[in-house]
Amino acid sequence: MTEEEEEKKHVKPKDPVFVPKSTSDKHRLHIERLMKNPEKPVFIPEVRKVWKPRDAPEFVRDVMGSSAGAGSGEFHVYRGYRRREQIRQDYIDNKNEKDEKESEFQKKLEDNKNKAEEKTAKKRAKRYL
């Protein structure tokens, strides 16, 4: 045998490949990999921006409808305008609905807090009488 073959015999085999079987195994492997080099900075992604449609134009030059007499290509332009406006209106409606629900939730939290404070004050008064 040559020296190279003898060296290959004495080399330790690498650790067997571990295939994670569950999400917790995957997280454990990820944490172990991060902890091997704690000085290495970790990438933390930024929060995604909330999608917002473009504002409606102040002045529309190509006022058109889907009426007869328009050119064959104009209908597709009209359809695009209409689709964008519908998406914008849906966004505004959903935003208003979300804001209403949020304000309703905050009001309910405040009411619950006040009721709990009243109960506590009433029980406190009973204790000290």
Cβ contacts of residue 56 below 8 Å, gap of 6+? 85, 88
pTM: 0.53
Q: Name the token pair of 102.
A: 């949020």
Q: Which residue is it, tokens 């004495």?
A: 10
Q: What is the mean pLDDT of each run of 10 residues along the chain (129 residues)?
A: 65 72 90 88 86 83 62 79 92 96 97 96 88
